[in-house]
Every structure is written in structure tokens, then in C-alpha cells.
Amino acid sequence: MKDSPIKLSMTDKQAREYAASIPFDRRLYRQDIEGSIAHARMLARQEIIADREAEAIIKGLNSVRREIERGRFQFRTELEDIHMNIEARLFEKIGETAGKLHTARSRNDQMALDLRLFVKEEILKTIDKIKALQTALIELAGSNKGVVMPGYTHLQQAQPVLLAHHLLAYFEMFQRDKERFQDCLERTDVMPLGSGALAGVPYPIDRQFVARQLGFGKVSTNSLDAVSDRDFIIEYEAAAAITMMHLSRLAEELILWSSSEFGFIAISEAFTTGSSIMPQKKNPDVAELARGKSGRVYGHLMSILTIMKALPLAYNRDMQEDKEGLFDVVDTLQTSLEVFAGMVKSITVKSDGIAQAMKTDYMLATDLADYLVRKGLPFRKAYGVIARLSEYAMSKGKNFQELGRREYREFSVLFTGDVYDITLQSSVAARHVVGGTSPQQVAKALRRARRLIKE
């Protein structure tokens, strides 16, 4: 083994440690080695280095990879980053031939490559985890298709809806999230290697060959942009922030629904905790943590936007700050999606508790107004009639079904005996429009959701 000739100029120990990224960018070791192997193959193919040299480099890199994966690799802070740590170890293994690996590339395009490879992989994992959560929502909705619940606006009971319809609203949110990540993947799938430090490289390289080796669909078309672009990270974090917002909204409803005041659902003890002093309590900690973690992801998005907002072309060391936030966003989002999929599967719907919440039928006020409209009254007049009728019923402590026909007719002569056909079930069934809450439309929505999951 031979010592590496790599020497970095920063001599102050504290400054070196401040500048080093190896404590976190070591996570990119696999992408860095894959990129280096593809680069070595290309250099040999283009006769920039000899075949035997490329073979020695590739063999050495694979050996380094095994050392890292087995926990036997010594990461050195004085070598700053993952690139230099791997290259230094390669020198120790194969000698001066290792120095030929860095021909026709820079750490600038090397890091851009590593990050794009990483984000591509994590986008696909994220999409899979979103689909798992969507599947859990479909299963919960499908097994409770007949449950009618209060629909809310301003957190006030508004109109009855099917519980399945409410759950499928979150399916739609996560479907948009999935599409955002798919869209992000297209712009991440650009191979930057070959851009050099900023101006390209003076060697007859084959960038398309490297792109094919690494599974990229395109190569970058401007070297300055390629080494200084972090839009793909910003897009991933923006999509992640929106997904976490949707998780937080779902979390809030699960927290409310599982409370004693609502009593709509029970969350398994696997996803709740007890109180340290109140033995009767079951706290929805997982859902509460997701609400909190959404702010953490938002913070990382604001951080990368702030880092990039005034940087001149091309690479600047500020961009080293792109990684820690990205890694935390990836871990936070994916773990949250996994835990939520499990939690949703654990939910038991308490139909009796939901029915208790609808012991009054004042949510049918809009249906009564529509009833008068069908009898020929303009909607605004019908609205006024039902507003007065509702006040009257509440003052008497009666539901609409408990009002007598004479009481109805005191408010409008258009009321006849068929007014008693208006029920929570009839209200839901009447919303038979595309996207509505009728049982037929919800059944269609479930079929569509299952089809989208399979695509």
C-alpha cells in the first residue's frame, strides 16, 4: 500500500473540521463509487487511460465499497469529503494509478452527480411509500363504505358525507404529491458529469456512455448550470413540504376523531402512548409528531432557498450546506409516510360514536332548502325560510323529523308529507354528481383509486 498524495491546503484544525462535509456526505459513498466506476470505464473506452488501469481502479473501488459496507473504512476529517476519502483509500490500495481516475472531472461535477443519483433513488422510494399510505386509506374507506359522518366547514357540522368520501379526499392529496415527485424525477434525471469545474473538460469523453451506465435519461447541456444547479433538491424538498402538510392535516383530523369529544375512531396502542400520571389516557403521539415534523421540513426548504438565492455562477462553498437538510427531509418524510401507513391500517371506526355526533339532523337544512327549490321557490327565499325554521326547531329542542306538518307549513305552504323523506341517507344519496359523496360516486372513486395504485 502507498500513501495518498492528496493534500488539502487548510491547516487550522478547527477550520478544517468546520469545512469538512465527511460527517454527513459519507452517506453518498455508494453513489460516489458507482459514478467513479462508470467514469473509469468511459476513460478506458475512449482510450484516455489503459484498460488495465481502468480494471485496477474498478477493482479497487469495489474493495473500498466493501470496506465501507462492512464498517471497516476509516473516514478522515482532514480529507474533507466523501470523494477525497475514497480516492485516498484507492491510492493506498492500487498506488499511482488511482491518480488517473480524476482525469476529466472535478469535485464540482462529481458531487452534482452523486446528489442526482441519490435524489433519483429517494424519489422512487418516496413514491412507493406514498402508494403504501394511499393503499391503507383505500382499505379503510372500502371497509366503511356505508358509514355516514358529519362533514365540516369551520369545524362546524355542515352536511352529511360518507366517511369513505372523506378518507378519499386524502387519497387525492397524496396522488398529487406522487405526481409532483414523478415530475421532479424528470428534472433530476440529468447527468452532469463531464462539466468539469465549470467549463467542461478538454478530453474526448463520451458523456452519453456514462449516462447510460448510470441510468440517466439525459445529459446536461450547460456546464456552468450543471455544477451550480440545485433546483432538483429544492423541488424534492418543496414536494416533501407539501406532502408533510397533507400528513399534518390528516394527523389533525385523526387527533380530533380519536378524542373523547368526537369518538369517531380508535387508534391502535401500537401508535399511541399512555400518560405518565393519567392511566386512562391514550395519546395520539405519532400523529402529533407528524404535525411538528412538518415544520422541520418547511425549515429545510427555506434553508436551501436562502442558500441559493444570491449565489453567482458557478460553484460556491455555500452549496455544501445543501446536503444535511436534504438527508433530514428524506428521512423525516419517508419515516412519516411509513408510520402513517401502519397507523391508518390500525384504525377502528366507531360507527356508534359517529352516529351519536349526528343525533340532531340540522345538517339537513340545505336539503330542506333544496326541497323548496324543487317546489319552485328561488334558492335565496328558500334559504331564508329554512334559516327561520332551523331557529324555531332549535328553540323547541326538536329535530326536523320531529316537527309536525302544521309546524312546517307555518313557514311555507310548499311543505307536504314528502318532507319526511329527507334523511341523512337521502342527503348523501342525492349528491350523485362526479366527485360527490353518493354511494355510487364513492364506489367509482374507490375503483379509480385502486386503478391508480396499480398504474
Domains and CATH numbers, the chain: 13-103 (1.10.275.10), 108-204+214-356 (1.20.200.10), 359-454 (1.10.40.30)
Q: Do 437 and 383 contact (CB within 8 A), yes or no?
A: no
* 166 catalytically annotated: no
* Distance from C-alpha of 412 to C-alpha of 373, rounded to nearest angstrom: 12
- Chain center to CA of 105: 34
- Beta-strand pair 218-219/190-191: parallel
Whole-number pLDDT of residue 12: 77
DSSP helix/strand/coil, 265: strand
> Of 154, 260, 276, 395, which one is the catalytic site residue?
154
Distances (CA, A) of 322 to 135, 295, 302: 33, 18, 11
Strand runs labelled E in 196-339: 218-219, 265-266
* 154 catalytically annotated: yes
Whole-number pLDDT of residue 19: 85
For the chain, helix (H) and strand (E) counts, in that order, are: 18, 6
Confidence (pTM):
0.94
> Of 63, 143, 259, 275, which one is the catalytic site residue?
275
Q: Show the low-confidence residues of the chain (pLDDT under 70).
A: 1-11, 275-277, 279-280
Whole-number pLDDT of residue 148: 97
